[in-house]
Structure 1
């Protein structure tokens, strides 16, 4: 069963290191799980310039994909983007952990921590309060801690806590259900190949599925901290604040729109802070590039708008004053845009 639909794909947030520009200061917070501080959003936005507009637009699109790519399996989290051939995600593997809790023959007892073997090696411990051992119910709470747990080829460490509500239907055994999962990540990491995603913060996932290939998902949160590592080296730290994402999956067709603030610090690029919002939802077929849709990235008295002209080309409109007056237009292929990351 394609239960990857249940939780948000975050792997493509790793490409945010392409986000350019300085012009802001930031504090730090901890807890993203990869051993590095995470930049906190600031009121001073970074500048979008003619020199970095393509990078900024590409990174904004990549981060919107990170919030919208809920239906992709672990091996396809990056739409059109590959980092050294690896695709490291965090939330699709989370679903694998959740599904291992239900159904059960050995009861999970409240206040008793139980240890489970993971499919590909390692273990996970479960501290749960379940109304029904066989299916997910309103009021269920889970705390899952992974210790080198391998699921779907992804190595998972750290913990997450989930509270279940608004449950209708049978999530485990059917394709007709709805649910809200209030999730908190703590020192959570997922490694695929030489890429590691570290995640901390909160995420509310409200989802309804009416068939194997038809669903809606609404994701929101106050703060989600991300750390990008490659071969053990920290390449960037990011915080998404006041974020929302709405997605509809209808067969192979996917429509998604996101809104968020992002601040961070990446190696060689310094600190940055932008706001991102879809003006029109991105519409795509499967894992292909969107055929339509647009988003705007607002910086310090400047902006760049990315519009999908087709599945093969995009248009970038740069506004030097951020007032809607276009001062530069660039037409690129999707491949050229994503190469800027």
Structure 2
């Protein structure tokens, strides 16, 4: 592992767009595959942190006020035990959040989801993709359709395993909240740390976005990343993270924008996801991100 952490571009939300701290920040972020985004004023990560600390516990382990944050291990297709890694997590779409999350977690997840769409729109504009094809090229994700996942992750430090598998995210844009070291990106065949910066999210570009832009002169890079093994420390809580994702629907096709500006279907979304699951996790969850998806978006009942 490279001991020098990755120096990422930094951006903030300004009106309806992104403002980078340095000139050429967004083009550099496209080459890096990720960047740092300042959390909006008033953003409260507390509900997400609490969910990460409690979702894997049984309801009877805590007081009644903790019950809405617990018991997710019983929810098939929402809770996942990654048997070959330290991570266990909840992966849940918009309608699922309405059914299972406390209202304050729903509100926080929606704030993060709004940021994924802002990044998606700003990036397509930067690449010169005609706004008239955005909806088709993203299978509606840019307009709030597609599948807008939220994930809460707990890293079981007692397991002598890698924290999380090396992988590229499958969708268009990920907005990730972390507080502890452990996240690493692959740079020139070496693992380089991405250190948490207080007040900032880590934004990743995903495989669907990489595919969408592959034929353009400036394609998006989907960053290969992992979480290294988390070592238990007496008196220190386990590592956690949570993230919002803007993804295409789990069924249907993925699109690519051609140099002439048109968008064409290039492969099945479900096949893309199954291939990812087999190569990344090597476990029983081959339908991860497919079978449990309703295809609905931000929480509207489907």
TM over 0.5: no
**Which structure exhibits the higher relative contact order, with contacts defined as CA atoms closer than 8 Å and separated by 6 or more residues?**
2
The structure with more radius of gyration: 1
Larger helix fraction of residues: 2
Using the size of structure 1 for normalisation, the TM-score is 0.28
Using the size of structure 2 for normalisation, the TM-score is 0.30
Larger strand fraction of residues: 1
